[in-house]
């Protein structure tokens, strides 16, 4: 199933509630947490997630760009996260972190940066609900998609298929009207978009991308 997950990193924080409502026809809200250590930027965290949870029932797709996320799994659960995605590169024990996420009844995603090979994911095929293939270096919105990451998506989809799995593959960073079809064809099915949804007319952008996702699923 193809799903759209608009990233509120690109929203107007002074009008966050309005922005989230305007993107309400999408499938999820993508919530980027940055700690200034794992990535060279700081975004927002637990109190803001609590506020977002209060204004919407939509699936909250939380992307943790933080060192040793296991320390905060319970706090993000309590704040209202539905999906918790951690970075392979940020954990001393990936499996333990994913198990902790499952113990708290959330879906567990595993992310890799553009220079991390998809082969490292194989050990977690049995435990991941979703793999996130970053299509830019994590840390900032509004960057250009790195082409080689599309090949990674393709190879990961083939590898999962050959093992009989249909695990969700999320892509995040630099997705636009120009490259959405290529990325869907490569095998991604959860599409994160910051600038492409929140710059301009939010409702129209969401409608456009939801239609593209539907058309691709029916093709």
The residues carrying an active-site annotation are 32, 172
Residue 66 interacting with ligand DX5 (CB under 6 A): no
> 3-class SS at 131?
strand
CA distance linking residue 124 with residue 47, whole number of Å: 30
CA distance linking residue 144 with residue 162, whole number of Å: 31
Residue 193 interacting with ligand DX5 (CB under 6 A): yes
Residue 194 interacting with ligand DX5 (CB under 6 A): yes
Residue 83 interacting with ligand DX5 (CB under 6 A): no
Residue 43 interacting with ligand DX5 (CB under 6 A): no
Span from 53-61, 77-85, 87-95, 192-200 in contact with ligand DX5 (CB under 6 A): 192-200
Site size toward ligand DX5 (CB under 6 A) is 22
Q: Which is nearer to Zn ion, 35 or 172 (CB)?
A: 172
Report how far apart the first and last C-alpha atoms of the chain are (Å, whole number).
13
Q: Which of 3, 154, 172, 209 binds ligand DX5 (CB under 6 A)?
A: 172
Least distance between Zn ion and beta carbon 31 (Å): 8
Reading the block at residue 154, the tokens are: 């393709």
Contact 158, 129 (CB under 8 A): no
Q: Which of 4, 33, 49, 63 binds ligand DX5 (CB under 6 A)?
A: 63
Question: Which residues in this chain contact Zn ion in the complex, by CB under 5 A?
Answer: 32, 63, 172
Residue 100 interacting with ligand DX5 (CB under 6 A): no
For tokens 């113990």, name the residue: 103
CA distance linking residue 157 with residue 159, whole number of Å: 5
Q: Which of 10, 26, 52, 58 binds ligand DX5 (CB under 6 A)?
A: 10
Q: How many CB atoms neighbour CB 14 within 10 A?
A: 7
CA distance linking residue 145 with residue 210, whole number of Å: 20
Least distance between ligand DX5 and beta carbon 175 (Å): 6
CA distance linking residue 39 with residue 130, whole number of Å: 21
Least distance between ligand DX5 and beta carbon 205 (Å): 11
Residue 6 interacting with ligand DX5 (CB under 6 A): no
Contact 137, 114 (CB under 8 A): yes
Nearest to 59 by CA among 96, 85, 98: 85
**In the complex, which residues of this chain contact ligand DX5 (CB under 6 A)?**
7, 9-10, 30, 32, 63, 136, 138-143, 172-175, 192-196
């Amino acid at each position: 199933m193809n799903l759209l997950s608009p990233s509120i990193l690109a929203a107007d924080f002074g009008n966050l509630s309005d922005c989230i409502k305007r993107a309400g026809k999408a499938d999820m809200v993508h919530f980027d947490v940055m700690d200034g250590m794992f990535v060279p930027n700081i975004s927002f965290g637990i109190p803001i997630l609590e506020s977002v949870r209060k204004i919407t029932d939509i699936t909250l797709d939380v992307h943790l760009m933080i060192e040793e996320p296991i320390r905060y799994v319970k706090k993000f659960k309590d704040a209202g996260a539905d999906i918790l995605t951690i970075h392979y590169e940020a954990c001393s024990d990936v499996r333990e972190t994913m198990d902790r996420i499952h113990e708290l009844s959330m879906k567990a995603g595993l992310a890799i940066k553009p220079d991390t090979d998809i082969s490292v994911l194989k050990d977690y095929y049995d435990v991941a609900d979703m793999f996130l293939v970053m299509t830019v270096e994590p840390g900032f919105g509004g960057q250009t998609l790195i082409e080689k990451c599309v090949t990674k998506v393709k190879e990961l989809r083939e590898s999962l298929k050959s093992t009989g799995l249909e695990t969700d593959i999320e892509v995040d960073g630099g997705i636009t009207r120009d490259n959405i079809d290529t990325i869907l064809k490569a095998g991604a099915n959860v599409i994160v978009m910051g600038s492409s949804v929140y710059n301009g007319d939010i409702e129209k952008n969401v409608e456009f991308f939801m239609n593209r996702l539907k058309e691709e699923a029916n093709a």
